[in-house]
């Protein structure tokens, strides 16, 4: 999953340069989601099975990360929540993500993905 995190982070960066800020929010969120999944896999947390499909529900993964001891920096939960809210805005609202929000998304994404990379050692 870490390769998916990196790919989504890199794509989000390209999209920011093209000023596609809603797409930045979507890819930045999924970069962090996949980095969190990779972190949980390294901690030997089994991926839940829902109707024969194995994945982390978006509503569950944050709680599971907290329970696993993930603590990269003091306000990582705030960054994760900001990523989630901006992705929901981009995907489900008529409002668009701003350039300022996209910059903050990319900063949070870089911090969280880099931390997971260093913890996983990959």
Q: Where are the domains of the chain?
A: 2-120
Taking residues 3-30, report their average pLDDT.
98
Give per-residue pLDDT as tens, 64-115: 888 888 888 888 999 999 999 999 999 999 999 999 999 999 999 999 999 9
* β-strand partners of 53: 50
- Per-position b or e across 31-40, b if 16+ CB within 10 A of its CB: bbbbbbbbbb
The pLDDT score that the predictor gives to residue 73 is 85
- Stated as kind and residue range, the H or E segment containing 114 is helix 99-120
The pLDDT score that the predictor gives to residue 122 is 66
> Model-level pTM greater than 0.85?
yes
The pLDDT score that the predictor gives to residue 82 is 97
CB 23 within 8 A of CB 8: no
Phi, psi (degrees; rounded to nearest 5) at 98: -85, 165
CATH number of 2-120: 1.20.120.330
Give per-residue pLDDT as tens, 57-67: 888 888 888 88
Confidence band (pLDDT; 50, 70, 90) for 3?
very high
Average per-residue pLDDT for the chain: 92
């Amino acid at each position: 999953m870490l390769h998916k995190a990196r790919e989504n982070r890199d794509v989000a960066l390209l999209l920011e340069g093209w000023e596609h800020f809603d797409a930045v929010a979507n890819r930045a969120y999924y970069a962090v989601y996949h980095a969190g999944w990779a972190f949980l896999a390294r901690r030997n947390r089994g991926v839940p099975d829902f109707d024969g499909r194995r994945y982390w529900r978006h509503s569950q993964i944050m709680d599971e990360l907290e329970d696993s001891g993930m603590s990269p920096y003091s306000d990582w939960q705030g960054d994760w929540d900001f990523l989630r809210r901006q992705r929901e805005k981009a995907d489900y609202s008529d409002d668009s993500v701003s350039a300022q929000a996209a910059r903050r998304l990319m900063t949070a994404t870089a911090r969280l993905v880099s931390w997971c990379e260093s913890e996983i050692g990959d």
